[in-house]
Amino acid sequence: MDPQKRPRQDDEIDLSLGPLKARVTLFGATVLSFSIKDREVLFVSKKAVLDRTKPIRGGIPIVFPQFGAGNGDLPSHGFARTSRWSVVSEAPAHVVLALTWQDDLSSKVWKYPFRLEYTIELSPNAGGSLVTSLRIMNLGLVGEEPFDFQCLQHTYLAVPDISKLTARGLTSPFINQLAKGEVQKLDSDALKVDREVDWIFFGNPEKPQEDVVVSLGDGANVHVTRSFAIASKHTACDVVAWNPWIEKSKKMADFDDEEYKNMICIEPGNVSRKDVIRGGEDAVLTQILSVSHI
């Protein structure tokens, strides 16, 4: 499915900057498309549900305030990806969206006063890139009312052929979520996908910006640059690598049986742990996607 070729829905925003194009929906603040010279960088399943009744399978959904299965009243991966966001500002090449604790269902399942601001911007840097920056603010009393959280940009990358893909820059060891959270190491300096992958790679607090370079096998490389800061201090930014492979693909109603061959998730965030911000503080998770040799 090519989001750029189907009619734009009322809650969607198109961005453009020369050969760069993007499409964003207010439902979940999900980036549906990012293309350079008409080459689509993001994957969206052709079976993705687009009636705003469930999370969108593909693009860049937002995970907040928790990663993984529901905890209490919180749904799996939190509520940000299924809430309707509002527009703060808009220009041809960028948009700023917001979600607060008073919006939508968030006040019913999350008792802490917060505000999320999400800046989505097309940039001419690095030959053309998509910059997505999520700011998480604790609106409680300054220095008080802390809350802990996890956040993630759940980025789905389009892949011509998964058997030819390699990804470098993933720091080993990692948490293997398919082996009861066992900590393991990669066999080489490059990730190759020939089975189901659901791994959390630890970020390095000594490297405020880290790159994962995904070689797609057809001469194109996707560079995923990530950073994470709390109260203006850079800290470790984890990254999740995910591909459902054959059996799990067959169990997902919003994912075609064969689509595992054409996608890989490389997802920056804080998911190996929970971080805390106090009243008046914020955290900022930034991702930069760029493509070389296209």
Containing H/E element for 75? none
Instruction: Round to the nearest angstrom and report the end-to-end CA distance of the chain.
Output: 21
Number of C-beta neighbours around residue 128 at 10 A: 22
> What is the maximum alpha-carbon separation in the chain?
52
Number of C-beta neighbours around residue 232 at 10 A: 9
Token pair of 137, please? Answer: 């603010």
Is 289 within 8 Å of 190 (Cβ atoms)?
no
Q: What is the set of active-site residues? A: 154, 267
For residue 265, give the nearest of 2, 61, 22 by alpha carbon: 61
Containing H/E element for 250? helix 245-251
Nearest-angstrom CA–CA distance, 216 and 222: 8
Nearest-angstrom CA–CA distance, 91 and 207: 32
Nearest-angstrom CA–CA distance, 51 and 218: 34
